Amino acid sequence: MGTIVPGSDLVGREDIIRSLVNRLQRGENLILASPRRTGKTSVAMEILARLQAGGTMTVYLDFFRYAAPEGFALAFTSEVLKNDRILARGLRWVAQQLPVLSEIKTDFGEAVSLAVELQQKRQLSLDAVLDLGEALARRRQRHLVVVLDEFQDAGKFGADVYRTFRSFFQHHQNSTYLFLGSRKGLLEALFIRENEPFFRFASLEALPPVPALVWEGYLRRKLQLAGVTVNKNFARHMAEAAGGHPGDLMHLGNAVMDVWNGELDTGTLLDAAYQLTMSRLTPTFGEMWRLLASHPGAQVVARRVATGDPLYGKSGRKPSSFQVTRAVHFLAEEGILEKVARGHYAFGEKMFADYIRDLEH
């Protein structure tokens, strides 16, 4: 995973940040589905910072981090409590006084019952905590925005977990939800398939590509600060070499600074920086490539798309056309391939396609 970029360093995202802040403030639930390292989490963090500054309560949780629902429930509770220092202090006090207090119903009703559950079971269940933020928002007459990152991974908590979440969220009047995910197709399917519990719960949003001109200006300024003067053409070639992928382009920018020695001509500089970037990304790409091995035909199909070969091979050869269709579907679900036209797919991340093309076969 990349480092989260502070708002001031986020390139070309001001419009989308503003629009999402407004829509969340109006209470619209949203889904932001976009491939790996395109900047979802950085954008979400900036959105939350702006909402907080405006007095909104916020919660951020990444499903990637929790192996079991109990861990998630505990983290959810502590994120909610971060919004209210007095309640958080009250809860700590309640926990200390538990033997005496557990039978008393006070204004801190939720806090007491949570503390009791924690004390008795040493863990919290999802059911016990999912209304907590909403209850606090209602009590304090504030709005709560909850960001659930890599939401498609919540499925690891069990098949019914989405039904559980929906059964709580749908009653929340003071809470608004922003769902993020890099396994684009999988995340979207949760909200657009009629038989899924989250059908029509939120509107789909994409992270738009950053325009080439915006990258050019940013890269030239950033490199200039490091004493590397490059012209527009060079900056444009950089953006092209990284396929406009935000994470990869940032790596490439760093690599240009690392290989720069004041003497290289621009062609050699870009080649060397590209090679260095590729070697730094190789562990990530290797992991992604191994993931594809788990699905029949996915590596073959990925290679065909990367090399521009026809998707479907000769009849009678493996993978069968059925397997190819399934593999394309899988690659789109994982957010690796995007449909560009009917029957045509492309990699969301150019450098991953380059990596695959250069693998020894």
Ligand X SMILES: Nc1ncnc2c1ncn2[C@@H]1O[C@H](COP(=O)(O)OP(=O)(O)OP(=O)(O)O)[C@@H](O)[C@H]1O
Q: Is 296 helix (H, G, I), strand (E, B) or coil?
A: coil
What is the closest distance, in whole angstroms, from the C-beta atom of residue 85 to Mg ion in the complex?
28
Rank residues 2 and 27 by Cβ distance to ligand X and give the closer one: 2
> What does each C-alpha distance from 55 to 50, 71, 101, 140, 262 come to in angstroms?
9, 28, 32, 11, 49
CB atoms within 10 A of CB 106: 10
Nearest one of 208, 211, 253 to 235, comparing CA atoms: 253
What is the closest distance, in whole angstroms, from the C-beta atom of residue 279 to ligand X in the complex?
17
What is the closest distance, in whole angstroms, from the C-beta atom of residue 292 to ligand X in the complex?
17
CB atoms within 10 A of CB 73: 22
Rank residues 1 and 86 by Cβ distance to ligand X and give the closer one: 1
Q: What is the CA radius of gyration of the chain?
A: 24
Q: Is 44 helix (H, G, I), strand (E, B) or coil?
A: helix
Rank residues 153 and 216 by Cβ distance to Mg ion and give the closer one: 153
Residue 100, token pair as written in the block: 């005496």
Contacted by 4, from ligand X, Mg ion, none: CB < 5 to 8 Å by type: ligand X
Contacted by 172, from ligand X, Mg ion, none: CB < 5 to 8 Å by type: none
Among the residue ranges 38-46, 255-263, 276-284, 351-359, the one whose residues contact Mg ion (CB under 5 A): 38-46
Q: How many residues bind ligand X (CB under 6 A)?
A: 23
**Strand 203-205 to 344-347 pairing:** unpaired
d(CA 302, CA 345): 10
What is the closest distance, in whole angstroms, from the C-beta atom of residue 86 to Mg ion in the complex?
32
Is residue 176 close enough to count as binding Mg ion by CB under 5 A?
Answer: no
Residue 36, token pair as written in the block: 């790996």
Rank residues 54 and 208 by Cβ distance to Mg ion and give the closer one: 208
x-or-dash string of contact with ligand X, 4-43, rule CB under 6 A: xx---xxxxx--------------------x-xxxxxxx-
Residue 255, token pair as written in the block: 């690599």
Rank residues 124 and 239 by Cβ distance to ligand X and give the closer one: 239
Rank residues 42 and 174 by Cβ distance to ligand X and give the closer one: 42
| Residues 176-235 contacting ligand X, CB under 6 A | 182, 210
d(CA 9, CA 15): 14
Q: Which amino acid is at 84?
A: D
CB atoms within 10 A of CB 20: 22
Kindly tell me which residue out of 41, 174, 176, 299 binds Mg ion, with binding defined by CB under 5 A: 41
| Interface contacts to ligand X, rule CB under 6 A | 1-5, 9-13, 34, 36-42, 182, 210, 246-247, 250
| Interface contacts to Mg ion, rule CB under 5 A | 40-41
